[in-house]
Amino acid sequence: MKLQLVAPGTGLSWVKLGVKTFLRQPLAMSGLFFMFMAVVSVLSIVPVVGTALSLALVPAATLGLMAATREALQGRFPMPLMLVTAFRQGGERARPMLVLGGLYAGALLLVLGVASLAAGAVPAPAELGDVANGEMTPERVRTTLFNPGMWWAMLVYVPVLMAFWHAPALVHWHGVSPGKSLFFSLLACWRNKGAMLVYSVGWLGVFMLIGLVLSLLSALLGGAAAMNLVLYPAVLFMASMFHTSIYFTFRDSFVTDEPSDPAEPTV
């Protein structure tokens, strides 16, 4: 396995592949994402410990969604057990993922702490996950977007995100140690920063377009009441599509001996 450099335009292909693969199994992929968010919401009820535990499960859940994407590519229906792929092959394979999860939880809590010191209160992870239980309202969205602490947190979070982006797949599928996986992931994201930037902008464009369509529909169907009705499923589908595309960023950033994915959608 070695790092592969890709053209910036590949980032747009990742977006397209994520959307097309999601549309192959929309109920399965959105259902898996909803299950994870539901678990996060339940765990977050427990003060401090619950929040840290929910964050520690993020790398494992990311791997599960990537494994589900591979299933969808091969024309199979991703079953709920795909979400716990990281823990299905015994403790020897699960321990590195748990270590990675602990590192992620610690890193994110540190990011939130630094951002709070720099710019005041930052929305708690539980608040950011309220989409899972239907509490994501337009007012909450506006409050979050105009929170200076939130923007500081996002700025500080970028290198953390890069370090953990490919790490779950490197740890589970290629046996890379948690520490090395963070380094290789950060290096891969940096070396392919052009593609990652196009990928990010592409998803931003998709979200803005869907948001515009939702706004027009809500205006035609009844204003704020209609918006509140469609916002939750729309956000769930958008988040699920985005997570479906993560697998392709990993697949194209590293050269492996694995055969190419059969029945892969064209872009």
Q: What is the pLDDT of residues 174-205, one digit of tens each?
A: 999 999 999 999 999 999 999 999 999 999 99
> In this structure, is residue 260 part of a structural domain?
no
Whether 266 maps to a domain, the answer reads: no
Euclidean distance between CA atoms 135 and 124, whole angstroms: 14
Q: Is 203 helix (H, G, I), strand (E, B) or coil?
A: helix
Sign of torsion over alpha carbons 139, 238, 44, 120:
negative
Task: Return the pLDDT at 135.
Answer: 47
Structural domain harbouring 42:
2-255
Q: Which amino acid is located at 174 in the chain?
A: H
User: Which residue has 């996986």 as its token pair?
Assistant: 181
Contact 134, 223 (CB under 8 A): no
Scanning 120-262, the segments in alpha helix (DSSP H) are 125-128, 138-145, 148-165, 167-174, 178-191, 193-221, 224-253
For residue 3, the surrounding DSSP H or E stretch is: strand 2-3
Residue 267 banded pLDDT, cuts 50, 70, 90: very low
Q: Output 211 or 241, whichever has higher pLDDT.
A: 241
Q: Is the pLDDT of residue 134 over 50?
A: no
- Specify the number of domains making up the chain: 1
Q: What is the mean pLDDT of the chain?
A: 83
pLDDT, tens only, 71-95:
999 989 999 999 999 998 777 889 9
Q: Is residue 134 part of a domain?
A: yes
Tell me if 178 is assigned to some domain.
Answer: yes
pLDDT in tens, 55-72: 999 999 999 999 999 999
**Is residue 16 very low, low, confident or very high in pLDDT (cuts 50, 70, 90)?**
very high
DSSP-assigned states of every residue in 132-143:
GGT---HHHHHH
261 occurs within a structural domain: no
Between these two residues, 209 and 256, which has the higher pLDDT value? 209
Predicted TM-score (pTM) of the model is: 0.82
* Model confidence at 265: pLDDT above 90: no
Band of the pLDDT at 223, cuts 50, 70, 90?
Answer: low
Does 263 map to a domain?
no
Using CA atoms, how far residue 218 sits from 101, 137, 223, 228, in Å, is 39, 14, 5, 9
pLDDT in tens, 139-179: 554 555 555 556 666 778 899 999 999 999 999 999 999 99
pLDDT at residue 259, as a whole number = 45
Residue 33 covered by a domain? yes
Residue 52 lies in a domain: yes
